[in-house]
Structure 1
Amino acid sequence: MAPYESDDSSTGDEADDMRAGRRKATRYVVPVAVVGVAAATIGLVPAFAGSGDPDLPDVTAQQLIEKIAASDVQQLSGTVKISTDLGLPNLGGLESSLGGVAGGGRDGSGSSADPSSKLLELASGTHTLRVASDGEGKQKLSLLDKAAEYSVIHNGDEVWAYDSKSNEAYHMKDASSGSAGKGEKGTKDRSEDVPATPKELAEEALKASDDTTSVTVDGTAQVAGRDAYKLLIKPKQSGSTVGAISIAVDAKTGLPLKFTLTPASGGAAVVDAGFTEVEFAKPAASTFDFSPPKGAKVTEGDELKADGPAAKEHKGDKGDRGRPGDGEDLGKEFQGLNVIGEGWSSIARFDTGGEGLPSEGAGGGDAGRFLDSLGDHVSGKFGSGTVFSTRLVNALITDDGKVYAGAVTKDALVKAANAAN
C-alpha cells in the first residue's frame, strides 16, 4: 500500500480521516526546502550504530511522521556528528575570506564569533557538535575543533557566542524571549539559519508533498544506544538530484536521531548528521552560564526583537524560521521570482537584472577564466549560459542574467530555460 493511501476496504469516513492526518503530517514534512538545507548547510555515511536491528511494534509511515510532529523533547544533551559532501571545488582561502566578510559586513570587520558566519563551516567536511537544551529559554551548541571550541549559548534574554581560537565573543540581547509567543523564538533564528541537528534537518525534509514523494518505514535500527524506526523518503519524480532521505526516529520520544541524504548519482551521502550520544535529562544549570574570559574581544550584535530588523531578517511567514530573502524581501532582491514545476523537481527562476557572468571569451579576464573553470557551458532556445553544479544543487546562469536553480539535473535546468523562452 502506498504511503498515505487507504486500501479499497476503507470507508469514506476512514478515508477522510486519513486525508486529514496526511494534511497535518505534511506541515512538518517540501523538497524545495531540501535545496535550502543543502545550499546553506551541511559525506560519509556511517552505519547506524548498534549491535542489531531492534524488534519494535509495526507502525505506518503516517504514524511515524505524526510521532515526529508530536515530539516535544525539551531537555536533552548529547553529541552530534555531522558530515557534508556537496562536491564543491577547493577554493583555498576564499571560503574563509567570504565567511569573514559575512560576519563583519562588507568591509570584513567584525567578530569571528558572529554565528551568521561561523556556522557556515558546517557546509563542508566532518564536524562534531555538543548540544544541550532545557526548554525554550536555554540552549547551547558547541562546535568542537582539534584545539579550539566555538559555542553559541542562549540563556533567557542573553545570547552569547564565543570562539576560543581567537578569544572573541559576540553578544546579543533577545528582547523577544519574555514576550514572544512559542512560534517566535527570535534568538534561535540567528543560529538556526544553518540547521545543525537531526531534528532541524528532518523538519526541513519532511515538508514534502505526498503527491510527489514516497514515504515508507524502512525497518529499525539502534542509534546512540536508542531503539529507532527508519523513515525512508524518496522522490517519485524523475530529474531530481535527491536519491533518498533516511531519518532514524527515536521509538520512545519521536525525536529524529539521525538524518542522511544521499544523491541520485550514488556514492557518499551529501548530508549525514546523527547523535553518537544522547541523554534525555535536565542539563546542569551551569551549562548555560557564560562570561567572557579575561582579555576577550567582545562585539555587541543587533538586539533581536519580535518586530525589529534583526528578527525580520531571519523570520519567515507565520512564525517559521526565515531565510534571507523570504517573502517580500525576496521579491525586492530578485526581479520576477517564480517557481517552475512542483515537488522535488521544482526550479526557482529569477532575473538578476544584470548581464550574466563575465566569461573569458567576453573580455572577462581572470574572473571570466575562473568562472569558466567552475561551470559547464550550455546553449539552447534560451541562448547560452553556464551551469554550476554540486552533488545536489545545480544552477544555470544565462548570459542575459536569468538564473534557474534547484535540486535537479543539468538537463532539467536547460529544459526549463528553453520552455521559459
Structure 2
Amino acid sequence: MAPNDSAGTNGTAAPGTKGAVVGRRKAVRYIVPFAVAGVAAATIGLVPALASSGDPDLPEITAQELIEKIAASDTQQLSGTVKISTDLGIPSLGGLAGSFMPDGAGDTGSASADPQTKLTELASGTHTLRVAADGPDKQRVSILDKASEYSLIHNGDQIWAYDSKSNAVYHAQNAGNAHDKAGRGKEQAAPDGVPTTPKALAEQALKAADGTTSVTVDGTAQVAGRDAYRLVIKPEQSGSTIGSITVAVDAENGVPLKFTLQPSGGGKAAVDAGFTSVDFGKPDASSFSFTPPKGAEVTEADEAEGHGKAEAEAEKAKGDLSALEGMNVIGKGWNTIAEIKTPGGAALPSAESGDVPAEAQQFLDALGDKVTGKFGSGTVFKTRLVNALMTDDGRVYVGAVTKDALVNAANNAG
C-alpha cells in the first residue's frame, strides 16, 4: 500500500455499398466531428473500473513521482469497454440541445447521426462504450444501447458517425490531418479544451492555483485487472462545489485508468467513468474502417446548403459576445468566479423577450433559484458542479462554487 504522500501543484506536473444509399442530404459543417477523437481519447483518460478485487501491494511512490509518471506516459494504442455514469444534477438533455442552436444549424431532418446532437446524451445517465485508439489518427468510440449502437470513427482525414437505430450516417473529411509549420503530424482531433491524451487529462485535473490544492497518493487499487495507484486531488478552499477528484493510474505505464469526481455536497459521484476491460495491444485495423450500410441516409458535412446561414448566425453570435463589457475574474484557484456584464445592463435573453425558445427556458427554470442581496435580485442556475448567478440588471457570475459564494461575489462586486 502506498503512503499518503503529497505534492503541490506548481504547474510543472504535469460495408454496405456506397452507391446503395438512398439519399445524401446536405447539412451544416461543424467543428464537432473533430470531437470523435476527443471523445475517444478523453474517454480513455476518464476510465474507472466498477469493481475492485483487492488492493495490490505496490512499491511506494510520492504524489510528485506519480504526476511525473502520468506526464511521461506515451501509450497510444488500446481497446476496451468503458462504463460512464454522469450525474450533474441537470435534466436529461435528450433532443433539447437543438433548442440552443441557431435556426438551421443541425437541421438534418428526422434521421441524423450528427455528433453534436448525439454526444449531449453523455452528459447524463449511464452509458456503455467500446473504445479503440491507434495513435492520433485512428480512434473509435461506440455508444451501446440495448438494441442499437452509435459509432464515431476517425481514420486519417475521414470522420464517420453511424446510428444503427435510424440507419443514418454523418460524414466529414479533411478533418484529422492537421500539421504544424514544420509539416509534422499534429494531434488536432478535438476542439480546444477537450483532453486528447492521458497526459492532457491529468494536467487539466491538476490545473489549480498554487496553495489551493492538496495532491496525495491514497493507496492502490485494481482497475480492469490492472494494478494502479490512487491519486487524490482536493481543494483546500471552502466554497467549491468540487469535493475531490480521484485518478487511478496504471502502475506499469502511467495511463489514467480511473477518474471519479465527487461533489462537495456529497452523494453519488458526478462523473464516474471506467474501463471494465482494457487491452494495450494494437487494435485491429478493421476497427477504424467504415462503409455506409445499404439504404443508409448519408449527411455530407462538406456539402451544406445551410452552411452560409449557419456561418452568418455564428458571426452574429460572435458579435453579440464581443458586445460584452469584458470578463472580470474574482477569487483564485478552485473558487475562481467569472463576472460578465452585458452592455448598459441589458436584460438577459428570455422566452418572454422571444430570444430563448420556450423549451430551453423551461429547462433553465428547472435549474434556477431566485435570490436577492445588496446586488439586487437574480436567479442562480445550479448543477452539482458549475453554478451561475444571472442578475436582473444583466450581470453573470459563474464558477464551480456554491450559490452562497456567487451571491457574496455579487454583493461585493460593487
Q: TM-score range by the shorter chain?
A: 0.7 to 0.9
Shift of the 193–24 alpha-carbon distance from structure 1 to 2, 3 Å rule, reads closer
Structure 2 CA distance for partners of 1:104 and 1:60, relative to 1, 3 Å:
farther
Structure of higher RCO (CA pairs closer than 8 Å, 6+ residues apart): 2
Matched, 1:97 2:96: yes
Aligned pair partner of 2:406 in 397, 409, 413: 413
Deviation at 1:207, TM superposition (A): 2.0
Letter in 2 for 1:335: E
Partner SS state of residue 117, structure 1: helix
Q: CA RMSD in A?
A: 3.6
Matches within 5 A, 1:130-169: 130-169=130-169
- Residues 410 and 334 (structure 1), Cα distance of their counterparts in 2 relative to 1, 3 Å cut: same
- SS class of match (2:12): helix
Residue 97 of structure 2 aligns with an amino acid whose one-letter code is L
Deviation at 1:204, TM superposition (A): 2.8
- Alignment-derived partner of residue 29 in structure 2: none
Cα distance between partner residues in 2 of 1:231 and 1:330: 42
Q: 1:99 to 1:372 in 2, by over 3 A?
A: closer
The aligned counterpart of 2:11 is 23
Instruction: Specify which of 1, 4, 7 is matched with residue 7 of structure 2.
Output: 4
More helix by share: 1
| Residue 335 (1) aligns with residue 335 (2) | no
Contact 1:231–1:247 (8 Å) recurs in 2: yes
Q: Please tell me the residue identity of whatever aligns with 2:347.
A: E
Q: Which residue pairs with 2:35 in the alignment?
A: none
| Greater displacement, 222-231 / 131-140 | 131-140
The alignment of Structure 1 onto Structure 2 pairs a total of residues equal to 362
* Cross-structure match for 2:393: 400
Amino acid aligned to 1:347: I
- In 2 relative to 1, CA 329–121 (structure 1 residues): closer, same or farther, beyond 3 Å? farther
| Corresponding residue number in structure 2 for 1:87 | 89
How far apart, in 2, do the equivalents of 1:411 and 1:295 lie?
55
Instruction: Give the 3 Å change call, closer, same or farther, for CA 251–302 of structure 1 in structure 2.
Output: farther
Which of 355, 362, 368 is equivalent to 2:347?
Answer: 355
CA contact (8 A) 1:103 1:118 kept: no
- Give the aligned partner of residue 108 of structure 1: 107
Look up the equivalent residue of 1:189 and give its one-letter code: A
Mark the CA change 1:202 to 1:179 in structure 2 (over 3 Å): closer, same or farther: closer
Instruction: Determine the C-alpha separation between the residues in 1 that align with 2:362 and 2:173.
Output: 45
For 1:369 and 1:290, the matched residues in 2 are separated by: 40
Q: 1:318 aligns to what?
A: none
CA distance in 2, matches of 1:183, 1:400: 48
User: What's the CA shift for 1:179?
Assistant: 3.4
Unpaired runs of at least 5, structure 2: 15-38
- Corresponding residue SS for 1:25: coil
Counterpart CA distance in 1 for 2:48 and 2:75 is 25
Offset at 1:195? Answer: 6.3
The letter for the 2-side match of 1:79 is T
State the distance in 1 between where 2:11 and 2:194 align.
27
**Alpha-carbon distance in 2 for matches of 1:199, 1:148:** 33
1:177-213 deviations in whole A, cap 9, x for unaligned?
1634678433x215x8766997765443122234211
Structure 1 residues 59 and 370, CA, compared in 2 at 3 Å: closer, same or farther? closer
Letter in 1 for 2:54: G
Q: Does the CA-based 8 Å contact 1:113-1:163 persist in structure 2?
A: yes
Secondary structure at the counterpart of residue 214 of structure 2? strand
- In 2, distance between residues paired with 1:129 and 1:102? 27
Q: Could you tell me which residue of structure 2 aligns to residue 385 of structure 1?
A: 378
Displacement of 1:66 in angstroms is 1.0
- Give the 3 Å change call, closer, same or farther, for CA 175–414 of structure 1 in structure 2: closer
Query: Matched residues in 1 for 2:373 and 2:228: separation?
Result: 49
TM-score, L = length of structure 2: 0.77
In structure 1, how many angstroms separate the alpha carbons of the residues matched to 2:99 and 2:298?
A: 16
Alignment match, 2:263: 263
CA contact (8 A) 1:80 1:129 kept: yes
Native 8 Å contact 2:261 2:270 kept in 1: yes
* Long gaps (5+) in structure 1: 6-18, 27-36, 304-308, 314-323
Amino acid at match of 2:262: T
Partner of 1:121: 121
Q: Which residue of 2 aligns with 1:58?
A: 60
- Specify whether residues 337 and 182 from structure 1 end up closer, same or farther in structure 2 by C-alpha distance, changes over 3 A only: farther
**Cα distance change, pair 334–174 in 1 and its aligned pair in 2 (3 A):** farther
Q: Percent identity?
A: 63
1:229-260: CA deviation from partner (whole Å, max 9, x where unpaired): 00000001111011001000000010001100
Structure 2 match to 1:317: none
Superposed displacement of residue 358, structure 1: 5.1
2:190 equivalent in structure 1: 189
